[in-house]
Structure 1
Amino acid sequence: MAGIVDIHAHHVPPLLIDEVARHGPAFGVLLRHDADGVLRLRVGDGPPLRPVLPELSNLLLRLPLLDEQGVTLQYLSPWTDCAGDALPPDQGARWARLQNETMADSARAHGDRFEAMATLPMQDPGLAVAELEHAVRHLGLRAVELVTSACGRDLDHPDYRPLWRRLRDLDVFVLLHPPGTPVGMERLGDYFLNNLLGFPIETTIAASRLLFGGVMAEFPGLKVCLVHGGGFLPYQIGRLDRGFAVHPACRAGGPAEAPSAALRAFHYDTLTHDDPALDYLAARVGADRLLYGSDYPFEMLDPAGPARVRRSAALAGQAGAVLGGNAEALLPPRGAGMPG
C-alpha cells in the first residue's frame, strides 16, 4: 500500500509566532507568555487563546508518530482558534496573508512531507476572494480551511456566492472546520462539551445550510470536506429528509434534491472514534467520499485511526483509497497546473 495522506491536521508556524512577537499590533494579534512559560496568542479583543502546544508549532515533533503510522504526507491547516474574522477587514486580510505565507514556508521547509492549507479573511468576502487568488497563484496552495461561520454570517449567505464560485472554478479543496468557540457555549462550557458536541454541531449546521441554501446545487463540483466524520449530518439525514418533504422552509433556499440524495456532494474525514460509525458512514456515502484525517496534535486525535480504516468491514478492499488514494486524486501535488 502507498503511504497515508492525512488531510486534517493543524499547525502554527514558528515564523508566524516570530512575526507576531515583532509586529503583532499591525495584525491585531498579541503574544503572551504565561508565568509557567506557556505561549498564547490573543487575536483582536478576544481572550487569550488556548496554549500553543510545542507539537502544534514544531513540525519535527510530529514526525515520529507520522513515521510509526505510515503517514507520508500531511496537510497543515491553520488553527481555527487563530481565525481573524473579528478583526477589521484590512487587518484581518493582513493576518490571513501572514498565516498563509508562513504556513507555505513551513511546508516547503520539509520537502514533500507536508502541504499547507490557506485561511481567508471571511469578514470581507471580496478580500477573501483576493486572498484565495494569492494563495493559489502565488503560494501554490490547492486547499483552504473555512470556519463554519464568520462574523454572524453563515456560509450560505449571498455575500459568499462569489467566493464559492471561485473555489469551484479554481478547483480548490475546502476543509470545513468548526471555530475554536462553537455555538451554544452557554450550555457547553463544562464537561468538554464545547468540543465533544459543539464542534460536530457546528459542522452539521454549516453543511445543512449549504444543502438547504442551495450552495451545493448551484456549484456542482465543489470539493468540500466535513471533518469529524461529517458532524451529525450523515447520522440524522433522515430527519433532514423529512423536513424537506413536509416543510416549505426546507425548500425555500433552492436545494435541487432531498438532503440524503446530496450527501455525496461532500467528502468526509474518517475521524469518528468508533468502528460502527465509520462502517455506517462508508456504507452511506461510499468509500470514494472518505479521506483519512487525524486532527493532530490535539487530544481528540484518534491514535488508532489508520488501523480503524483497515479493519472496517464496509471498507474491505478500499482502505488504500481512503488512506491515501482519494486524497491524491482530489488534491494535485504542489506545482501542478492551475485552472483559470
Structure 2
Amino acid sequence: MSIPTVDVHAHVLLPQIEETVAGAPGHAEHRELDARRNGPASVQASGKMIGERIERLTRAEARLADMDAAGVDVQIVSPSPSHYHYWAAPDLARTVYRMAGEATAEHCAKAPGRLHGLGLVPLQHPDLAVEALDHALSLGLKGVEISSHAPGRELSDPELEPLWARAAASGAVVFLHPFGCTLDERLDRYYLSNIVGQPAENAVALSHLIFSGVLDRHPGLKIVAAHGGGYLPTCLGRADHGWQVRSESRTCAEPPSRYMRRIWFDSLVYDPGALRALISAAGASQIVLGSDHPFDMGVDDPLDRLRAALPPGDELDAVRGGNAATLFGLKEQ
C-alpha cells in the first residue's frame, strides 16, 4: 500500500448558487461591498480569470486531468469561497448551504476515491451551524469550509461553541479559508485585497481561535488553515510575548505558539524557504499539501514545490499525503 498524494485545497464553482441568491434582499449591497474592497481593476481581472478557467472549476473531467498532470491522486474539493454569502437571511442561508453541499457531493461522486468534498456553514446564523455541519456529513462530505469571520461575528464568538463541539465530536474537518478583508478600500488596488488581505485574515481568525480558548475547550477540533496560516506563523514571538506581559491576552492555557501543533496548515506559501519555516513553526505532522486549484493565486505544481523544500523521506511523504490521509480518514492506495 502506498501513501496517496492529497491536495486539500481545491475549489469547485457552483453557478446554481449564484442564480439562486441573485436579487435577494442584501445581494446588491454585498456585490457593491465586494467591488469596493477589491477595486475595479481586480474585479475585471478576476472575471476574466474565472471565464478562462470555468471548465476546470466546474467539470470533474477537467479537474482529474489537472490532477494527473500535477501528480495528485486525491483532492479535497471545497466550494468557491464566493459562495459563502454571509449576508443572507436564515431561509436563504439554509438553501445556500444545502445546495453547496449537495452539488459538491455530486461533483465528487463523479470520481469516487479521488475526489472528496466539504460543505458550507452560514457563520452569520450560529443557530444553523450544527445543522449545516450535520447536513454535510450526511452527504458523505469530510467537513465544512468557513471564512475568517462573518459580519459582526468573529470565530471566538461564544454562539459558535456548539459548532466547534459538534465538529470535534464528529471528527469533521473545518477548513478555514478567508474571503474578503475588512481593511476595505485600503486594499482596493494592486490586488492587495488578496495578496495582503487573505494572509491578514488568516492571522486574525486563528488568533481569535487561540486566544479565546476554543482550542483548549475542544482539543479534538480539526482546523485546517489555508494559505499556510497567513501571517500568524511568522509572528509567534510577538504573540507569545503579548501573552506573557498582558493580562488581557492571558486567556488561553498555553503560549500561542504551542497551538501551532494543534492546527493543520496547507503548504501554499509559494517559496521553499517559507515552507521550511512553516514546518519549523508547526512541525511536519501539521502540514498538508495545498494548491488552491484552479485559481490564479494557486499553483499548478504543488508537488514539485514541496520537493523543492524537502528532500525525499518521511517528512516529504507526510506532507505529500500521509498527514491528510489520516486527517480526512482516507484509505491508502
What band does the TM-score fall into relative to the shorter chain?
Answer: 0.7 to 0.9
RMSD: 2.1
Cα pair distance change 1:331/1:19, threshold 3 Å: closer
State the distance in 2 between where 1:263 and 1:167 align. 19
Give the count of matched residue pairs: 312
Q: Specify the alignment match of 2:61 in structure 1.
A: 60
Gaps of 5+ in 2: 35-45
Say which of 262, 272, 276 aligns to 1:265: 262
The residue number in structure 2 matching 1:308 is 305
Q: CA deviation at 1:238?
A: 0.4
Aligned equivalents of 2:27, 2:67: Cα separation in 1 = 31
- What does residue 277 of structure 1 align with? 274
Q: CA deviation at 1:302?
A: 2.3
Q: How does 1:90-105 map to 2 (within 5 A)?
A: 90-105=91-106
Q: Determine if contact 2:294/2:300 at 8 Å carries over to the other structure.
A: no
Give the corresponding residue for 1:38.
none
Gaps in structure 1 of 5+ consecutive residues: 32-41, 335-340
Deviations 1:104-159 (A, max 9, x none): 111112222211101012221121111111211x2011221111101210001011
Q: TM-score, normalised by structure 2?
A: 0.88
* Corresponding position: 1:153 with 2:153: yes
Distance 1:308 1:19 in 2: 34
The equivalent of 2:230 in structure 1 is 231
Tell me the distance in 2 between the aligned counterparts of 1:20 and 1:258.
Answer: 42
> In structure 1, what is the Cα distance between the partners aligned to 2:97 and 2:62?
25
**Range moving further from structure 2, 266-275 or 125-134:** 125-134
Distance 1:142 1:2 in 2: 19
User: 1-side partners of 2:31 and 2:79: how far apart?
Assistant: 19
Q: TM-score, normalised by structure 1?
A: 0.86
The residue identity in structure 2 corresponding to 1:57 is T
- On the 8 A contact 2:76/2:117 being kept in 1, the answer is yes
Contact 1:10 1:295 in 2 (8 A): yes
Partner Cα separation in structure 2 for residue 71 and residue 5 of structure 1: 6
In the TM superposition, what is the alpha-carbon distance from 1:330 to its structure 2 partner? 0.8
Higher relative contact order (CA 8 A, sep 6+): 2
Distance 2:63 2:170 in 1: 31
Shift of 1:282: 1.0
Please state if 1:287 is matched with 2:280: no
**C-alpha distance in 2, partners of 1:315/1:238?**
30
1:337: which partner in 2? none
The 5 A counterparts of 1:236-251 are: 236-251=235-250
Q: CA deviation at 1:314?
A: 7.5
Alignment of 1:315-330 (within 5 A): 316-330=313-327
Distance 1:47 1:320, change over 3 A: same
How far is 1:20 from its partner? Answer: 5.8
Q: 1:282 touches 1:315 (CA, 8 Å); kept in 2?
A: no
Instruction: Read off the aligned partner of 1:90 and give its amino acid letter.
Output: D
AA in 1 matched with 2:215: M
Quick check: 1:75–1:115 contact (8 Å CA) kept in 2? yes
> In structure 2, what residue type is equivalent to 1:261?
R
Counterpart for residue 174 of structure 1 = 174
Aligned partner of residue 10 in structure 1, secondary structure: strand
The 1-side partners of 2:27 and 2:8 are apart by 26
For 1:299, the equivalent position in structure 2 comes to 296
* TM-fit CA distance, 1:333: 3.9
Q: Is the 8 A contact 1:29 1:43 kept in 2?
A: yes
Whether 1:29 aligns to 2:22 is yes
Identity of aligned residues (%): 34
